[in-house]
A and B are shown apart, each in its own frame.
Chain A
Amino acid sequence: MITHPAPATTPAVRTAAPRPAPAAPRPRRRARPAAYRTLSRLLVVIIVVAQVYPLAWLFITSLRTEQDFASGNPFALPSALTLDNYARAFAVGNLGQNILNSFIVTMGANLLIVVLGMMAAYAIQVLGFRLSKLVRGIFLMGIIVPVQIALVPLFIDYSKIGLLDTYQSMIVPLAGFALPMSVYLFSSFFEYIPRETYEAASLDGAGPYRIFGLITLPLSLNTVVTVVLVNSIFIWNDFIFANTFVLTEGLKTIPLGLQNYIGTMGKTDWTATFAAVCVTVTPLLLVFLVLNKAMIQGLESGATKG
């Protein structure tokens, strides 16, 4: 979708910027970048529209009547708006239960990711020990390990110890596979806490536990927000672990619940499905829109430090 405008940019970049004569660089550089800027502004608009339009279309479709959707141009504005689809969405599936389950799994996994990630980073980066480099490496390796490797072994282990079809069966691997990134983000942040801070606290008689609670924890709240937001996106939308380890209707999270809308009788109720999608996306979307500045900043600094 985005590729169409993309190839056009390279020649545009080239032609829009002839070399300014070294003797009089100023006036020339003013004129050309203006054209360049208009062009790039236009391109950005096109790309963003192409990027966001499918989502807008999804939302509009959720407000269409069924007949309107079935007969007609997909780009047309709806002839009438209706909330019937939302009523049907709630009537057909277990949306409430699905959302609750997703909340429980997201909260549980996030708690583990933040607390355990911070503890490991504290041990590695602040306390330090002889093999800390090795342990850090073992954690970092996890960033590139694909989750598929754990599906069969965990399925076997879970069925042995009776953990199959529980919240924990989703929370543990979700947390485990997110830990490496969390350890990485926390330990790169801890590097920036100056040694003097710890020395001062130590002189006041604080031990490692109090320093963790009174200095490290409060200072890293921003990183906590980043870690929680980024992971929430992945966990809220996790499909593969839930699809593998959840067997009963009552434990289904949102991604599994949404599948109920795909017609068992062959015909899918698309408008109701899209209404359900809109409902399930809303909580995450609200959090994202409210906190996106914090998240974007965290992502940017986290990635560029490394």
Chain B
Amino acid sequence: MIATLGRSARLKAASLLYSLGFFYNVLKETARFFSKSQVGYKVLILQILFTGYEALAINAIMAIAIGAAINVIGSSLLPQFGQSQLMYSILIIVITRELGPLLTAFVITARSGTAIATQLGTMVVNHEIEAYIAVGLNPISYLVVPRFIGVVVSMLVLTIYFNIFGLLGSFIVVQVIKPTPILEYLGALMSTLTVGDVASGLTKALVFGIVVSVVATYQGFSVNRASTEIPVAGIRAVGLSFILIIVADVLLTLVQYA
């Protein structure tokens, strides 16, 4: 039993070191990505298109719904305590600092994380990776880095859109229930919103984007030979991404508020 535990720990440690090495290689290749003209640019554009642009609709609907819910609940509940002005603070904390990056990361994980893991897993099973290596293409440079940058950029851009739709789009919904002058709403919102709030949300988005893309690509490359490993890799990518996103969110929140 002790031997089993020891072997398991050794394998885990080796796996961790391998993943750290993989992450290091991704960062190293990312730094070199923009300094040289390469075909990976087209992959990057398509990755942003699929991960960012195509997720915009669901992201916007979620943002508007959550923003409207906070507006409606806040405008009916907070006046009972004489704290109506806190509605904007709550809206900003929930939309900009917490739920914006978190829900966007979940959406990207569910949509693109699985897609990336599945796609790379399929390429491994089909020996495409070996073909890339055979013709002198670095698979990390050509396959991982565009996806890594694409997911991170999409995450950042979608978080900005989530903030816009959550803070401003919900205003349209609120107008149906409780008409409020737009200038008054915007003035109060912008007086409460700080650069720290925006930076906090974008920092989380950056970290979550890195987590999702690295985990998805790593899990995609972890497929060996059988095609049955591909959906398993996708599931592992989603599960591990969710866990790491939540852990990262907690750590970043602690750093910001500590």
B is bound to A: no
